[in-house]
Structure 1
Amino acid sequence: MLGVGGSRRNLGREALRGAGRGGGVGGVGGGLDPQARKRELLRRLEEQRKQREQREQRGQRGQREQRREEADGTARPSP
């Protein structure tokens, strides 16, 4: 009885690994699905940006204090 159970379909590598069924989670090769990878990448980029901004703010505060001390005449001599 040919044809029982639906039409025959040639499956590609992605279909065999679960693509289209939950993003391939738990399939061969494991790893994160593309959206999860994107979320992780954006989270890391945002974290790096915040750290960079904090460093820049600390540096600006130090420069402001140094300028203020120079204007007041209370600047510490550089080694």
Structure 2
Amino acid sequence: MGGQRRKLSRGELRGGRAQSRGAAGDPAAQKKELLRRMRERAEQRAGTERGE
């Protein structure tokens, strides 16, 4: 189920350091990427419903 949580400093809690795992530090860029992925998934679903 759950694992151990990594301890965060005050600066990290407030977004001082860039996130690990290659995530972009810019919230606008993160949102743009999320919307792009959502659109791709929606297009794939629409294609499978039409039988393509």
TM-score normalised by the chain length of structure 1 = 0.35
Q: What is the rounded CA distance, in whole Å, between the counterparts of 1:40 and 1:49 in structure 2? A: 14
Residue in 2 that maps onto 1:63: 49
Q: Which residue of 1 aligns with 2:39?
A: 53
Where structure 1 has 5 or more consecutive residues not aligned to the other structure, the ranges are 1-28, 33-38, 67-79
Structure with more relative contact order (C-alpha pairs < 8 Å, separation 6 or more): 2
**Mapped partners of 1:40, 1:64: distance in 2:** 37
The match for 1:40 among 13, 26, 42 is 26
Partner Cα separation in structure 2 for residue 41 and residue 65 of structure 1 = 36
TM-score by length of 2: 0.51
What's the CA shift string for 1:34-65, capped at 9, x where partnerless?
Answer: xxxxx700000000000000000000000011
Identity score, percent = 16
Structure 2 stretches lacking a partner, 5+ long: 1-10, 18-24
Tell me the C-alpha RMSD between the 2 structures. 2.4
Segments of 4+ in structure 1 off by > 6 A? none
Count of residues paired in the alignment: 32
CA distance in 2, matches of 1:64, 1:40: 37
